[in-house]
Chains A and B, each alone.
Chain A
Amino acid sequence: MRITNHPILNFPEDRKRLTFVFNGKKILAFEGDSIASALHAAGYRMLSQSLKLHKPRGFFCAIGKCSSCEMEVDGVPNVKTCLEPVQEGMVVKSQLGWGTFPVRPKKRVYHRVKIPVKQVEVAVVGAGPAGLSAAIEAARHGARALLLDENHRIGGQLIKQTHMFFGSKEHYAKVRGIDIGTKLAEQCRDLAVEIAADCSVIGYFHPHELAAIEANRLLKVQAQKVIIACGASENMLSFEGNDLPGVYGAGGIQTLMNVYGVMPARRILMVGAGNIGVIVSYQLLQAGVDVVAVVEAAPTIGAYQVHASKLVRCGTPILTSHSIKQAYGVESVEGVTIVRLNENWEEIPGSEQELDVDAVCLAVGLNPAAELFFQAGCKMSFIPELGGNVVWHDENMQTSVEGLYVAGDVAGIEEASSAMLEGRLAGLSAVESLKTTTTVIQQQKEQIRQGLHALRTGPFGEKIRIGEKKMREANPA
């Protein structure tokens, strides 16, 4: 089902139509759809099967991280259908097991291919709020910058944030996330930042060489400074039935409804009453989905009161000290059981309640995507307040590897507003060490640090303040 009447977004009905074949059936899609979004719109939520037990699988993340949407596309197995755009006449098949290439060469032939090399001054990995901001600052101060992102559209998570942001004017307060993404992308283009979308960075090699995959070919990027702002991935929660199609991550749901205009469900249960949980619940209501309830295991709501209040007055209750016990269904979610928890977070027997829903959304936190830093040999620490393993960095966002910088959620889970500031700080620091420092750069850096400090004051910034302190105290040597 498609969203037709949305208060914030516009999904015109006269978009170009495409058709492709899925398991022998003709499927109608709109131009810009991914294979997975078109299949969802046509009512198919089961995309693959687990390798050993052949249990049904649907996508969880919709950003190419969970790999439970892999299918055979035009004869090529293991294609992440959540990222792959639909093309006219494509042949898509469900895949059993590992998948095989249909044609095998008779003789093993190895070709010596010349790997293309790109040389830049500053390479930025990840085109979300942090990466875009970093590239903008680097380019503004005269560096040749390259921005790499594995997604088709740049903007990271901003492209699905329909709500107005908090902060002050300098942090794009009261501008909707989607519009901030557009503005930052425009600035990048104006500043002649080279943009490589659909390009996954798969490795970091000393000193400052990146391996990337672009159009199924290896690409080498040689940079003088590297800024990694590759974000985070969503946490899973363990409960019976959590692998059923119809159990989505909050970001995956947002992608479906706010990027592709597809109704993700009719009735849904939200798990987690942090900011993401309640904001996405509200966005689900705006898309026309019935959010039956929000369950939160903690005794109190973690989200800002204003976000919680605007959801609750629409009739969606937030049930604190409650959790999901089970999701059930044959091919996808057909219902859930929730349960009340006591003060020790244990299930209270007999308090189970059945809810009639066809989907579950998990908003139970994020985990920094720190793999590239591990590979680069950076000093890492496990800091729960920042979401998991984070890379040590100094006040300039530089890691323990000289010339390698970090920004955004991968430096510690926070808000997009602070990600933009961290990105700018990393971009300025990189350009400063590349060229020469100026009083203008120094003043800007000081302002940004003050801005970050301001965002982190107050009770909601406490976790970040503790996390940052722990990270700083970890010795980089």
Chain B
Amino acid sequence: MSQYLRDGVLDLDDFELPSKQRREKGRVIIIECVQEIPCNPCSEICPRNAITIKGDITNIPQVDFEKCNGCGICIANCPGLAIFSVNESLGQEMAEVGIPYEFKPLPETGDSVDLIDRAGQVVGTGTVKRVLQPKSYDRTALIYLMVPRELSLQIRFFRKSLKSGNKKKS
């Protein structure tokens, strides 16, 4: 039995990853949706038709990583908050990770954050690169983080770090 059924934590083998070459070319999405559930907004919203759900609505979405340009629209439109993006074209040190976020307060560009993996564990530190929340995202924010490159496929959440010089806000 798959481990995620016991603890809710997916393994990298549980879903399809874009190849290393593709990730190094620029931003691309990763869909972490592994069960047959009745849902298809991702395939309907993608402007490049890079996501397809063939046949029944319960089938698992397939991504054409060459068609995907990582625009991120699907990230904010996935009801399961299960789509992320990765970009490994930004040098040897750092990579960028895109995360859907539905908490308050929103972080600000430049904030230092603790980086958290799929199991909810802090595994490193990074910074907030960009915060997007246009009206069309319907209150889901899309947060781009800069993370150490070796963590580019691990980071799925973040929390403002307490140690480094973040301005205190009420």
Contacts and interface: CB of A to CB of B under 8 A. Distances in A.
B120 to A, nearest CB: 4
B68 interface: no
Contact of B6 (A299, A310, A417, A461): A299
A414 to B, nearest CB: 11
B38 A314 contact: no
Given A165-B79, A306-B33, A313-B156, A454 B120 contact: no
Interface in A166-207: 166-169, 171, 173-176
A2 to B, nearest CB: 14
A9 to B, nearest CB: 9
Nearest to A164: B79
A237 interface: no
Contacts of A417: 38
A314 B5 CA distance: 17
Contact of A309 (B1, B36, B77, B82): B82
Given A6-B104, A309-B9, A317-B7, A173 B41 contact: yes
Contacts of B5: 300-301, 305, 320
A455 B102 CA distance: 26
A263 B131 CA distance: 27
Given A169-B44, A309-B118, A458-B56, A8 B102 contact: yes
B37 to A, nearest CB: 5
A168 B79 CA distance: 11
Contact of A311 (B8, B44, B56, B104): B8
A314 B39 CA distance: 23
A460 interface: yes
A309 B102 contact: no
Contacts of A174: 41, 45, 77-79, 138
A304 B37 contact: yes
Contacts of A466: none
B6 A300 contact: yes
A460 B36 contact: yes
B104 A7 contact: yes
A94 B32 CA distance: 51
Interface string A291-331: 00000000111001111111111111110100000000000
Interface string B2-25: 001111111000000000000000
Contacts of A310: 80-82
A61 B6 CA distance: 29
B78 to A, nearest CB: 8
Given A7-B103, A313-B119, A304 B9 contact: no
Contact of A167 (B32, B39, B104, B118): B39
Contacts of B45: 174
28 contacts: A7-B102, A163-B79, A166-B39, A167-B40, A174-B78, A174-B138, A286-B102, A286-B104, A304-B80, A305-B10, A308-B4, A308-B8, A309-B8, A309-B9, A309-B156, A310-B80, A310-B81, A311-B8, A312-B8, A312-B119, A313-B116, A313-B117, A313-B118, A314-B157, A317-B7, A320-B6, A457-B56, A460-B38
Per CB-CB distance, the 6 closest pairs between chain A and chain B, nearest first, are A306-B80, A458-B58, A308-B8, A458-B36, A164-B79, A315-B120
